[in-house]
Amino acid sequence: MKILMVCLGNICRSPLADGILRRKVRENALDVVVDSAGTSDFHAGEAPDHRMQETAVKRGTPIDFLSARQFTAADFEQFDLIYVMDKSNRENVLKLARHEADAAKVRLILNEIQPATDQEVPDPYFGGWEGFEQVYDLLDHATDIIIEKIKNKDI
């Protein structure tokens, strides 16, 4: 099983989702590869935003080793599931889908918490620290559900 987390810049939301899920995969000794990417190349090669890093490490999830990269159509071949953080990420990813099987891999991550409601992980980049804490809470919850589904072979 290979899971890709996707946002716009790949420096705030998706590297956090990636880091939390990697940690939980390791803690649960699961055979899952996790990675992340951004639909833009704005921050390619950069480490996660320092505010996201600080929020994450304080809560037990170091993400300093991650490096931003842009999502490409080749990711549809590499990954089984592609979780996007918001609807604009979904639109941008779906533009690169070559057939229905590609598109079927794309899911809004918060639909794991409240199915079919299409809620979005808010972009914290232009806001204050509380936005980063909120993103952590949301992604911690969603990744708990993803881990349970993997364990139950329900994903």
Q: Which of 86, 135, 134, 136 is nearest to 106 (CA)?
A: 86
Sign of the torsion formed by the C-alpha atoms of 107, 110, 116 and 122: negative
7 is a catalytic site residue: yes
Give the shortest CB-3-to-ligand 4NP separation in angstroms: 17
- Using CB under 6 A as the binding rule, whether residue 12 contacts ligand 4NP is answered as yes
What angle is formed at CA 121 by the lines to CA 107 and CA 72, rounded to 5 degrees? 50
Which segment (11-19, 72-80, 90-98, 105-113) binds ligand 4NP by CB under 6 A? 11-19
Q: What is the rounded (10 degree) CA torsion for 41, 99, 114, 120? A: 20
Helical pair 13-27 and 129-151, crossing angle rounded to 10 deg: 40
- Using CB under 6 A as the binding rule, whether residue 125 contacts ligand 4NP is answered as yes
- Using CB under 6 A as the binding rule, whether residue 42 contacts ligand 4NP is answered as yes
Cα 80 from Cα 136, distance rounded (Å):
24
Give the shortest CB-99-to-ligand 4NP separation in angstroms: 26
Find the catalytic residue in 12, 13, 35, 86: 13
13 is a catalytic site residue: yes
Question: Considering only residues 3, 5, 13, 106, which one is a binding residue for ligand 4NP as defined by CB under 6 A?
Answer: 13
Cα 51 from Cα 97, distance rounded (Å):
32
Q: Which is nearer to ligand 4NP, 9 or 19 (CB)?
A: 9
Which residue numbers are catalytic? 7, 13, 123
Residues forming contacts to ligand 4NP in the complex (CB under 6 A) are: 7-13, 42, 123, 125
